[in-house]
A and B are shown apart, each in its own frame.
Chain A
Amino acid sequence: MSAASIYMRRRLTNVLAMILSACATALGLLFLVWILLVTARNGLSAFHVSLFTKITAYADQGGLSNAIVGSLIMDLMALMICAPIGVLAGVYLAEYASRTRLGTTIRFLNDILLSAPSIVMGLFVYVIIVLPMSHLTNGGISFSGFAGSVALALIGLPVIVRTTDEMLHLVPGTLREAALSLGVPKWKLTVQILIRAASSGILTGVLLALARLAGETAPLLFTAFGNNFMTVHPLDEMASLPIAIYQYTNDPSPALHSIAWAGALLITIFVLTLSLITRFLFSRKKVTYE
């Protein structure tokens, strides 16, 4: 084979690879646009004020107000549970156990927890909270908004731990040395200097966790269960947007499908806006530290 033909073949392979990789990118973007367009079109055509004013008990004459309220309550309660624990655990990993065996083990397992199946977290909370509560109250309380929040908190926790840990590693060591040389105790250094220095990064982690847990359906199925009426009591069965969407999608009625699409659009807008905000926060963060 002549040198020229080898050269031609190599160039041809290269051009082919480039075309294929551009096609792969186009395919990925195609699916993104496809899913978003379908959600936007179906969601917008079903959009109506009654979504926010009527409860799901009216079925196809109703809205999603109880599901929206339930979702907000459970998401916030979940954040209130997982944000403090996650931030403190992240601080421990970064500042106290960065290189110890316990620290590296927890960091490693936390990374696994990050992609653990969310439905198992629902089962976990079912076994440790729903069942015992039902036993204690003789069936009076079983599924509850509280149990749902705990399940969601378990989804958000590893996200917050991971980001806090990483963000504290970005804080320059000179800051620690300066404070310690002034005789500042370590807890004060951590709370008043390090957490403050990394605050926008930690906030990013909390928002990322919120974006992650707000769209979760599987952990709520057997913890919060669902409710066709409005409730704000954390020990009641509680409705949520993902569960309402799940139930309406499983229903044969097209009218319920369009309400489900409207709910889907709401969640998608909420989650994607959150991830865009975190991207903005994070990119600003990078500029200050590089």
Chain B
Amino acid sequence: MQVTSAEPLARDIDKRSRADARHDLIFHRLLKFCALLVLASLIGAALSTLWGGRAVLFGQGWHFLTNDAWNPVADDYGALAPIFGTLVTSLIAVVLAVPVSFGIALFLTEIAPTWMRGPVSAAIELLAGIPSIIYGMWGLFVFVPFMANIEPGLNDTLGQLPLVGKLFQGPPLGLGLLTAGIVLAVMILPFITSVMREVFLTVPTRLKESSYALGSTTWEVLWDIVLPYTRSAVIGGIILGLGRALGETMAVTFVLGNSYNITASLLMPGTSISSSIANEFNEAVGIHRSALIALGFLLFVVTFIVLLIARLLLRQLAKREGN
């Protein structure tokens, strides 16, 4: 009796486990396919912009990068002015945002009373949640008039300095590279701050306490203990902010002034890769459109490399942490 009933049971179990194995395989493949889609979106973005911009990228080659003209009437397009604007505004943003982020991270990890840390860091992160179009509107309607008021003052003070003076001389339009850089700085501030704050918290308490026990001040602990320990991740966070700034569109489009200029003065209007694309794409046809897509390809490649470096630096600290 027992022998006869055990046999179908065993067959049953066998059938079931084979079905389970089959389902497992299907499930595994489905998951893998979805994960590969993530990869595909990255590669696809690069290839599709390369394809869309092929007429300019392969037609003109290196000349596209070094040409400073942008003339839709003559169909003569060069990427130099947009690249210049993108780099200058992003660099201004990073130069301004890094010290402020550093200060906020110091405040949030070492100085502020505990009850204050949560709400203040939440408020700073709220800055990252504001949509970029809001930054753009605020920039155009509020910050540009504000800058137009203080730019004559900049002309008279910083503009009179030797060497760097040229940077701050120009018409007080309010619009321009400096204004765009400042708006970008506010935008990337929360990203850099949150990376710095997080990595500062990874420093072992023992290290910090040892230093305090030897009589260090808070500043000395930060500068001589915390910062060296987290150096690579801090630089990674800064470069991450740079990557954000390079690709930002809406916050700068309104305040840059959209003119294809390469000037020494930061008060002059300019353009950037992303704002050129946003402003002109829907009116562009033929070679013009191809040139804009080619600009998109350049932007993607540059931000990819920048973000790659940032992530590699951030990973170094995580590795040392041993997890």
A110 at the interface (CB under 8 A from B): yes
B130 touches which of A92, A218, A272 (Cβ 8 Å): A272
Kindly report which residue of chain A lies nearest to residue B105, judged by CB atoms. A21
B307 A120 Cβ-Cβ under 8 A: no
Q: Which of A85, A97, A222, A249 contacts B136 (CB 8 A)?
A: A249
B69 sits at the interface (CB 8 A): no
Q: B186 to chain A: which residues have CB within 8 Å?
A: 31, 35
Contact A21 B103 (CB under 8 A): yes
Q: Known A28-B104, A89-B34, A218-B278; judge A116-B138 contact (CB<8 A).
A: no
Do A187 and B296 touch (CB < 8 A)?
A: no
Are the C-beta atoms of A246 and B38 separated by less than 8 Å? no
Which residue of B has the minimal Cβ distance to A165? Answer: B35
- Closest chain-A Cβ to B128's Cβ sits at a distance in Å of 9
B35 adjacent to A97 (CB under 8 Å): yes
Q: Do the beta carbons of A38 and B142 come within 8 Å of each other?
A: yes
Q: Say whether B170 faces chain A, with CB atoms less than 8 Å apart.
A: no
Q: Does A228 contact B (CB under 8 A)?
A: no
**Per-residue 0/1 for B228-271: is the Cβ within 8 Å of any A Cβ (1 yes, 0 no)?**
00000000000010011011111000100000000000000000
Per a CB cutoff under 8 Å, which of B101, B102, B282 touches A222? B282
Q: Is A127 an interface residue (CB 8 A)?
A: yes
With the chains together, A217 CA to B277 CA distance in Å? Answer: 13
Asked if A267 lies at the interface with its beta carbon under 8 angstroms from chain B, I say yes
In the assembly, what is the distance between CA of A242 and CA of B133, in Å?
Answer: 7
Say yes or no: B293 contacts A127, CB within 8 Å: yes
CB nearest to A123 among chain B residues: B296
Q: Contacts of A39 on B, CB cut-off 8 Å?
A: 134, 137-138
Q: Are A18 and B111 in contact (CB under 8 A)?
A: yes
* Cα(A93)–Cα(B104), bound, Å: 34
> Which residue of chain B has its CB nearest to the CB of A275?
B129
Q: Does A115 contact B (CB under 8 A)?
A: yes
Q: A19 vs B182: C-alpha distance in the bound complex, in angstroms?
A: 22
- Most A C-beta atoms less than 10 A away, residue of B23, B103, B247: B103
Residues of chain B lying within 8 A (CB to CB) of residue A84? 34
Interface presence of A199 (CB below 8 A): no
The contact of A20 among B36, B103, B222, B304, by CB within 8 Å, is B103
Find residues 108-145 in chain A having any chain B CB closer than 8 Å to their own CB: 108-113, 115-121, 123-124, 126-128, 131
CB distance from B255 to the nearest CB of A (A): 11
Which residue of chain A lies nearest to B141 when distances are taken between CB atoms in the complex?
Answer: A257
Q: A38-B142, A117-B303 are in contact. Are A25 and B107 (CB under 8 A)?
A: yes
CB < 8 Å neighbour of A14 from B193, B218, B240: B218
- Selected contact of A28 from candidates B49, B122, B124, B296, CB within 8 Å: B124
Shortest Cβ gap from A35 to chain B (Å): 5
User: In the assembly, what is the distance between CA of A22 and CA of B49, in Å?
Assistant: 45
Interface residues of B in 79-133 (CB under 8 A from A): 99-104, 106-108, 111-112, 120, 122-127, 129-133
Query: Which residues of the partner chain B approach A214 to less than 8 Å between Cβ atoms?
Result: 131
Known contacts A28-B193, A249-B140: A217-B249 contact under CB 8 Å:
yes
Residues of B within 8 A of A105 (CB): 39
**A256-290 CB contacts (< 8 Å) to partner B:** 257, 260-261, 264, 267-268, 271-272, 275, 279
B31-73 CB mask vs A (1 if < 8 Å, else 0) is 1101111110110110011011000000000000000000000
Q: Does residue B169 face the partner (Cβ distance < 8 Å to A)?
A: no
Q: How far is the CB of B136 from chain A (nearest CB, A)?
A: 7
A90 to B268, CA, bound (A): 46
Interface residues of B, dominant DSSP:
helix
CA of A245 to CA of B41, assembled, Å: 28
A35 and B251 CA atoms in complex are apart in Å by 13
Cα A17 to Cα B140 in complex, Å, equals: 34
CB distance from A274 to the nearest CB of B (A): 8
On chain B, the residues within 8 Å of A31 by CB distance are: 127, 186, 189
B30 within 8 A of A: yes
Interface status of B220 (Cβ within 8 A of chain A): yes
Q: A96-B31, A221-B278 are in contact. Are A245 and B249 (CB under 8 A)?
A: no
- Greatest chain B CB density within 10 A among A11, A18, A84, A124 is at A124
- B217: nearest chain-A partner, CB-CB: A14
> Looking at the complex, which one of A10, A22, A161, A279 makes contact with B107 (CB distance below 8 Å)?
A22
Q: Which of A23, A32, A217 contacts B250 (CB 8 A)?
A: A217
C-alpha gap A22/B120 in the complex (Å): 11
Q: How far is the CB of B141 from chain A (nearest CB, A)?
A: 7
Contact with A along B204-233 (1 / 0, CB 8 A): 000000000000011110100000000000
A258 to chain B, nearest CB (A): 10
B219 near A14: Cβ-Cβ < 8 Å:
yes
Residues of B within 8 A of A152 (CB): none
Q: Are B244 and A115 in contact (CB under 8 A)?
A: yes
CB within 8 A of A85: which of B34, B130, B217, B218?
B34
Beta-carbon contact of A242 and B131 below 8 Å: yes
For residue A186, which residue of chain B has the nearest CB? B24
Q: Does A27 contact B (CB under 8 A)?
A: yes
Most chain A CB within a 10 A radius of its CB, from B37, B222, B243: B37
Q: Can you identify 21 A-B contacts, CB atoms within 8 angstroms?
A: A24-B101, A24-B107, A25-B103, A31-B127, A89-B34, A109-B42, A112-B311, A115-B244, A115-B303, A117-B274, A119-B278, A123-B49, A124-B48, A157-B38, A186-B27, A190-B27, A218-B249, A221-B281, A221-B282, A246-B136, A264-B137
Give the interface of B toward A (CB within 8 A).
Answer: 20-21, 23-24, 26-28, 30-32, 34-39, 41-42, 44-45, 48-49, 51-52, 99-104, 106-108, 111-112, 120, 122-127, 129-138, 140-142, 186, 189-191, 193, 217-220, 222, 240, 243-244, 246-250, 254, 274, 277-278, 281-282, 293, 296, 299-300, 303-304, 307-308, 311, 315
